[in-house]
Amino acid sequence: MAELETRELEYFVAVAEELHFGRAAACLAIAQPALSKAIRRLESRLGVKLLERSSRHVALTSAGEALLHHGRHALNAVSAAAEKARRAGDQQAHLRLVIKPGGDANLLSGILAAYAGRPDARQVDILFGGATDRADHVRDGRADVALLYAPFDDMTGLDHQTLTVEGRVAILRPDHRLASRSQVTLADLAQETLPRWKGVRWTGAPEAERGPEVTDAAEALQMIRLGRTIAILPRSLAQPMHPDLVYLPVNDAPNSELVLAWAQDDRRRLVASFVAAAVDAAGTT
Amino acid sequence: MAELETRELEYFVAVAEELHFGRAAACLAIAQPALSKAIRRLESRLGVKLLERSSRHVALTSAGEALLHHGRHALNAVSAAAEKARRAGDQQAHLRLVIKPGGDANLLSGILAAYAGRPDARQVDILFGGATDRADHVRDGRADVALLYAPFDDMTGLDHQTLTVEGRVAILRPDHRLASRSQVTLADLAQETLPRWKGVRWTGAPEAERGPEVTDAAEALQMIRLGRTIAILPRSLAQPMHPDLVYLPVNDAPNSELVLAWAQDDRRRLVASFVAAAVDAAGTT
DNA sequence: CTCATTCAATGCCTGAGGGGAATGAGTCAG
DNA sequence: CTGACTCATTCCCCTCAGGCATTGAATGAG
């Protein structure tokens, strides 16, 4: 009844992301006509038009947007199922933790030590994920747990435990008008240019095109030093402090949380044990 | 890399549920040899043995269990993606609400009235789902929202809003030793035979085989009248009260909640509006 | 206005592989 | 030992996904 093959979904997602049949086909390592036909098959099977194609541009219909969004989730779920099955039999499986380089608030060594002391400890593989895809690593089974930042990362489909709550600091150039203050408020910063963090749904704030788009703290710092933007970061992400920049606490900014996240339906002891160790270690710091 | 087709997953889930190739093949409307081959393909593709088959019995390996569990989720996600895409274009789409017959605590008419008064109200289709599968209706896109009972229904993958909190009542035969009490406690009932609700994960309680397996309140009432069990139900589910039975409040039982649930990643106005109307209507009752 | 460019759609062809029927082989009951 | 049951194997057919060559439409430059 559903009758929607994962390969077709992959094809569609590729086209929907590229909005270009030729490039998408190249990504998928198939020929363009095959892709065109596959998408048409998919459309006729669903009985819905997914793409609005003029002979010059390709655009998503609303049905296409829905399928892109939910299709990504579905593909994640399928990958996760395969990955979990592959690893399920392996009793010696390593625990895979995905973090952002420098994104551990100096808690990681303590967490690993606490975990290693547990009777059921396994080897821990540490993977590095970019700003946007650590959560996806967990969703599609490439990792078991992830260190994420609330409220920045999208936690849909994940459960989590908070490890630390921390304030945020504004990072300015020394010649900024606020640089001599000892602290600032959000109101002080209301008119400032803030970077747009790639892949972060910036809910609540005006959608206006503001600062430059950046993918991580290093890029943001670069842009700050160039005077193109300022940034408000969780305190731990502001480490190490750059000597040419000014760091000021933003006392009224909503706190950010460093959380340990895992797949919502993952009830393995492997994961529970690590979570317990991490909460322990974070709590006693 | 993943390379796991939904059809293969469906095949595997069918076999894993039936634990019998012949029956599973019949369910899938294909021949048995085709199914055997498909499962072997799947195993070799994943590089894991999923089923332990003697020539007389079929059993799941741990990898098989993992794939069954996560595969169900994945299939739900794929179905949901297809369904959402089909319906996305339709601006006149009805809102589909799935309930258990009698499981609305008399709130439904008020909710529907409140929703109908909204400017963006759509027609509401009411579907009936059994005890176990209302949540699945939402997960795989057959419905937009569901009335569920916490903490009984499995909310994995769903968001929800609580509509009412209600106590629970014990339902006894008039000749039961406690029938003359005006109320009871869980301690009073500790030794009683309670029914096993099909599809409900009875976390926390002893796994002992206790009462008869029942699927809904009607069956439970039948069993109570036969003296085979007693039941502790949310107050609203005990309606209508049967004249030949005794209903006693269980004051120290954890409250149950009637909740309105929807897919976690469903942010459509269609749903948000209905939820708002329902919370409104429930709050003012 | 014309020509070159860029893309998606079409038609035809091939080959991989999924599915069916018949058969084999292991297991258990009586 | 025999028959019933059940999963695996073999062989064959045939669909359908994908490649290639081409068409056709829209765009932009000169």
**Phi, psi for B257 (deg, rounded to 5):** -120, 135
Which residues in chain B show pLDDT less than 50? none
The Cα A102–Cα A238 span in angstroms is 9
Which residues from A are below 8 Å from B89, CB to CB?
Answer: 48-49, 61-63
Q: Which of A35, A66, A86 is the last residue of a domain?
A: A86
Q: How far apart are CA B59 and CA A196, in angstroms?
A: 52
- Domain co-membership, B133 together with B265: yes
One pLDDT digit (tens) per residue for chain A, 285 residues: 557 899 999 999 999 998 988 888 988 899 899 999 999 999 988 888 899 887 778 889 888 999 999 999 999 999 999 999 888 877 678 999 999 887 887 889 899 999 999 999 999 998 988 777 899 999 999 999 999 988 888 888 899 999 999 888 888 888 888 888 888 888 888 777 788 777 676 655 555 556 777 777 777 788 888 777 888 888 888 777 777 888 888 888 888 899 999 999 898 999 999 999 999 998 776
The verdict on A246 and A172 lying in the same domain is yes
Is the residue at B22 inside a domain? yes
Instruction: Specify the pLDDT at position A1.
Output: 53
Q: Which domain holds residue B205?
A: 168-254
Contacting B residues, span 42-101, partner chain A, CB-CB under 8 Å: 46-50, 61-67, 69-71, 73-89
Residue A123 lies inside a defined structural domain of this protein? yes
**Rg of the Cα atoms in chain A:** 22
- What is chain B's length? 285
Interstrand relation of B256-263 and B158-166 (parallel, antiparallel or unpaired) = antiparallel
Do the chains contact at A46 and B157, CB–CB below 8 Å? no
Residues B161 and B172 in one domain: no
Residue A185 covered by a domain: yes
Interhelix angle B62-88/A6-18, rounded to 10 degrees, is 50
CATH number, domain containing residue B234: 3.40.190.10
Residue of B nearest to A5 (CA): B6
Residue A131 is assigned to a structural domain of this protein:
yes
Q: How far apart are CA A43 and CA A45, in angstroms?
A: 5
The gap between A62 CA and D2 C1' (Å) is 66
With respect to residue B1, please indicate whether it lies within any of the assigned structural domains: no
Nearest nucleotide (C1') to alpha carbon of A32: C8
Helix, strand or coil for residue B206?
coil
DSSP codes, B88-122:
HT-TTPPEEEEE-TTTTTT-HHHHHHHHHTSTT--
**pLDDT for position B230:** 86
CB contact under 8 A, A77 and B79: no
Using C1' positions and the CA of A18, the closest nucleotide is: C7
For chain A, the domain total comes to 3
Question: Does A129 share its domain with A242?
Answer: no
Per-residue pLDDT tens over the stretch B232-280: 888 888 777 788 888 888 888 888 899 999 999 898 999 999 999 999 9
Backbone angles phi, psi at A250, to 5 degrees: -110, 100
| Residues 125-164, chain B, touching A (beta carbon < 8 A) | 140, 156-157
Task: Mark whether B177 and B248 lie in a shared domain.
Answer: yes
Give the residue with minimal CA–C1' separation from C27: B56
Amino acid B179: pLDDT: 82
Q: Are residues B173 and B248 in the same domain?
A: yes
Is residue A235 located within the same domain as residue A267? no
**Torsions phi, psi for A155 (to 5 deg):** -95, 10
Structure tokens at A285: 């710091």
3-state DSSP assignment of residue B133: coil
Residue A57, min C-alpha distance to chain B (Å): 20
What confidence score (pLDDT) does residue B153 get?
A: 87
Residues in A touching B156 (Cβ below 8 Å): 264-265
| Alpha-helix residue ranges (DSSP H) falling in B122-177 | 134-139
Contact A87, A143 (CB under 8 A): no
Q: Do A4 and B78 touch (CB under 8 A)?
A: yes
Instruction: Answer yes or no: is A61 CB < 7 A from strand C.
Output: no
